[in-house]
Structures are given as C-alpha cells and as structure tokens.
Chain A
C-alpha cells in the first residue's frame, strides 16, 4: 500500500478487550477522510492509535517514517489532535489556547512567540474567525465559539495530519458547515484531515473518502456513495437512507430503522 499515512495490521487492546482488529489503510495527503460507524465501533480509538496516544501493534507509517520511531515532540508536530468535548480546565484567554498549538514547535510560552509562531497563530485564528474574541476567557464563550477556538488550536500546529474527533457535535447547522468548510480548505491546502462523525450527511458531502468501522473492523472505505452503499447502511447502521445528488455532492439521510 502506498499513501501519506498508512497502517498495516493494526490491533489495539484496551484493558484486555480487543477494540481494533487488523486495521489496514493508506491515505493520501490533501484528503478529507470521514471516519463513521455505530457507537462503540472504535472510531475514537483508531484516531488515538494513529496519533500514538494509545499503544497498538502493527505498523503505522507517516510520510515514510514509522510512528514508533518518532519522538513525542516530532509526533506532536506531525499530528494535530482535537479530542471530543474541548475541555479547558482553567479560564485562560482564547488566544493563549490557540497559541498552545505551537507547543510542539517549542513555543511553550504564549507571551513569547517567535514571528513564525505568531503568524501561524494568527492564520489559524483568521481561518476559524476567532480574532474578535481572542482576548476573552474561554469560559465566557458560547459552545460554538469554544469549538472554533479548539479548532484554531489544532490548525495552529500546522501539522501534516489533523485528527478531529466529532468536531461538529453539539453545534448548530451553520457552525457545523463552518467547521467542515474550514477542515475542507485545510485539506485542499495539502493537509490530511481525518474526522470522526456521526453525521453521515456531512460525511457524504465534505469527505473525499469515507471509512466505515464496525465492531473494531474496517468494513468499507471509498468515495462516499460507494462506502455508504445501501448494503453498508443496512448491515452496519441497520437503517435505510434517502439518497440523492445535490449540487454534484452526495446526499445521504438516514431514514428508517431496518
């Protein structure tokens, strides 16, 4: 297999339970990949394994280097990870949170950024439109604003791979589209973006590749229409779906349980 990010026979066990079985994938740079599947399928675990946050066996390669051969800092520069929930434990100003994206590059103090780091922070804040409230504390922001700050932090890393775990959950439709468009344009600039989502509609519309996980196995992958075929929708999600094309994009709306 060739690809920018590849995995070969990856298994993950968490406290004795096999969560991922024999995952193999090869993803090119500049793609937006949607990772979908029922609850408990192992989507978050796969994201964590790719970021090196949980131990796995099998081979993961990024840009020709084995993940296991990279140090913590180097790994952090290549993979930007956005977890679910956007936890911030202290009421820090939003701009300091975004500046933490430069931590892997050695900019550990937001008050002393190099011009290069400051530029990256500014670009990320502009791309997510958070400059207006950058000086405010994150605890004072609305849910939508907070999720954009979290996304800005991830973009500020300027990593080769962005791994985002449900970046659109609990957002209103307008913000969901905003977030997906921001990630889409990051992919168009050459970043490999991988998004975990339960929203098959967003996955079908914005992703180049959809990967379907079920019970720890990768059961389907490809362009949205094929990866989310009627068969897959029935077997994996146990629903039927309304399918159509609109403005040349696939429209897939889960409709009724089977």
Chain B
C-alpha cells in the first residue's frame, strides 16, 4: 500500500462521516416535524412548517409554536446532551460501557431536584431546581472518578456507579418517605419517571443555558479524547492536562445532565446507546463520535417521545420509562458481547 492509498482511504472515511452526519441532521429535522404534528390535534408536516412560520390557522399556530415547540426543543436538547455526555465519558474513561446513567449522575441530579421540590423551593421560574440538580450530578461524577483513580478497570467503575446510584435512589426515597404531603410524594414519583409532557418555554429557558454550556465545554475538549486513546500518561506527555480535562468533563456532564434532569426527570440510557449506534458508521475515534452521538441521542429521545404519544394505552407512558425499557436490554446485549473481555479480568 502506498501513501496515496493511505490518503485515499482517509478520504473515503471522511466522506462517509460527512454522509452519516447529513443523514442524522435530516433524521432529526424529520423527527422534530413529526413531533410537532402529533397530539390531540394531528397536523401534517407541511401544516407544521406552515404554522411555524406564521401561516395556517391561529389555533394551529398556538398548538405548534406554544404548546408543542417547547417539548420538541427540550427533546432535542436533552437527547443531544445525554448522547454527548455518554460519548465524552466513554472517551475520558476509554471504556465503551461508560455512561451518565450507569454512573448514577441522573439519579443524583434527581435527588438534588427532589430535595428542592419537597422543601417547596421549586418554582418553574427559579434557578434552585437546576442548580441543585447540577450540584448533585457534579458531586456524583466527581466521587465516582475519585474512587476510580487514574486507571480504573471496568469493574470498579460499574460497582462504584451502582453504589452511587443506589445511594441517590435511597436518598430520594427517604425524601419521599418523609414528605408530609402525599400529593407531593406522588408528584415526585411521576416526575422521577422522566417526561417531556406539558413543558413550556419557561422550562426551556430554565434548562437550555446549562445544557448549552455543558455541551460547549464537552465539545471544546474533543481532541484531547483522541490523545487520551493512548492512555493518560502518554496523553500528558503530548501536552494534555489530564487533571484539568477530567474536571472539565465532570463539569460539562454535570451541567448537561443536571440541567436536563431539572426539567425532564430522569431519562436513562440514551447516553449509553447513542455512541454505540455510531461506532460502526463513524469509527472508534472518540473525538469524531461526539457530535454524531449528540445527534443520535436527540433522534432517540425525539423518537421515544413520539412513541409514547402514539402507543395506545390507558394512561400516559412516560418517556423515561420507554428509554430505559429499550436501553437496559441493549446494555445487556453489550455485556454479552463484551463477555469474553469482562471474564478475562478487565478489572
């Protein structure tokens, strides 16, 4: 093989990545239009576009722009930041099973949020809810990485994540247990399931700044993840400040996941699944996986949020329940696939 062949191979790979990206963008746009059209009043994608840009009836405009648009924006942003967080954590830890939900970050964020709700401090206009969720998510990821140390094996990460998510779940249960008002407990229980229903632009305003900030932080570090493929010590020798990188990734994931959980409750497994769907198409380069994983996460959550509205059922299915029901079997499949490596004492 000559140098020209090497460059040609790289060109083909680059073209394929661009094609996949274009396909993902088209898919996300299509899902957003579908999502805007689905509900009590069904609208065709063309009617949706019309209403978005000020045409059609007043009723259609209100339905699309004020009732459904916030939900779609949140679906996109939350799905994207979850996919991005998963890809970033997998890059940081060089481990394909890393993800925010396996590490207890959403559960911890939910505990922070539940605490604020039960204390009566949560107002949709106040920053208390996202702040508490972000602080709790930061603490959980920080503790996890502190336990894991520099070269943690998979076993330690998963066990520590299990412990942290169990602790956060227990703390949440305690808050509900102690709440004097049964309606508050019920409200919390439903909120925990994770949903995008009945969200308004106030919710968008509450979550979006944090999600955007987290995403910017994670994306700004993308090339460091590639250097980290060679291990922490080599990355350091190439000029990557690994300690700073860890802190930035923890902060980015906490801002993104905390902001998301504050308005949607816990939505699990999007962050685990999205990078895996992209690896066969994009390759394993952790830097190149970030944006496609974000778009895939957005597509997954938008699709799940459409599905909960069209699956016939007597009461509402929460979108967080659906993502977990799809995500956990996928996780089991990944464990099956990695069984040999896991059995071989990766830890």
Name A's B-contacting residues (CB within 8 A). Answer: 48, 51, 53, 72-73, 75-77, 79-81, 83, 87-93, 95-97, 100-101, 103-104, 108-111, 122, 131-135, 153
Contacts and interface: CB of A to CB of B under 8 A. Distances in A.
Interface stretch (B104-112, B234-242, B248-256, B316-324): B234-242
Interface string B144-182: 000000000000000000000000000000000000000
B2 interface: yes
Closest CB pairs A-B (n = 7): A76-B239, A108-B223, A89-B94, A81-B237, A90-B284, A135-B9, A73-B239
Given A97-B230, A131-B1, A92 B10 contact: no
B287 A122 contact: no
Contacts of B41: none
A131 B239 contact: no
Given A79-B237, A132-B1, A108 B226 contact: yes
Contacts of B10: 93, 95, 111, 135
B6 A135 contact: yes
Nearest to A163: B237
A83 B284 contact: no
A71 to B, nearest CB: 8
A107 to B, nearest CB: 9
A51 B236 CA distance: 10
B259 to A, nearest CB: 28
Interface string B61-79: 0000000000000000000
B278 to A, nearest CB: 13
A76 B233 CA distance: 12
A27 to B, nearest CB: 19
Contact of A51 (B228, B237, B241): B237
Given A109-B223, A111-B14, A131-B6, 20 more contacts: A53-B236, A72-B240, A75-B239, A79-B237, A81-B233, A81-B237, A87-B230, A90-B285, A91-B284, A92-B229, A92-B283, A95-B6, A100-B227, A103-B223, A104-B239, A111-B10, A131-B3, A135-B5, A135-B10, A153-B230
Contacts of B86: none
A131 B3 CA distance: 7
Contact of B285 (A96, A133, A135): A96
Nearest to B9: A135
Contact of A88 (B229, B239, B240, B287): B229
17 contacts: A51-B237, A53-B237, A76-B237, A76-B239, A77-B239, A79-B237, A81-B234, A89-B95, A89-B228, A89-B231, A92-B229, A100-B226, A101-B238, A103-B238, A103-B239, A122-B3, A131-B1
Nearest to A84: B233
Contacts of B6: 95, 131, 134-135
Interface of B: 1-3, 5-6, 9-10, 13-14, 94-95, 223-224, 226-231, 233-234, 236-241, 283-287
B188 to A, nearest CB: 40
A75 B238 CA distance: 8
B9 A92 contact: no
B1 A72 contact: no
A135 B1 contact: yes
A251 B155 CA distance: 48
A76 B238 contact: yes
B83 to A, nearest CB: 18
A100 B238 contact: yes
A164 B14 CA distance: 33
A74 to B, nearest CB: 8
A92 B1 contact: no
Given A81-B234, A122-B3, A131-B6, A92 B284 contact: yes
A79 B14 CA distance: 31
A157 to B, nearest CB: 8
Contacts of A103: 223, 227, 238-240
Contacts of B223: 103, 108-109
Nearest to A111: B14
A89 B229 CA distance: 5
Contacts of B14: 111
B46 to A, nearest CB: 39
A145 to B, nearest CB: 13
A101 B234 CA distance: 10
A138 B193 CA distance: 43
B87 to A, nearest CB: 12
Contacts of A111: 10, 14
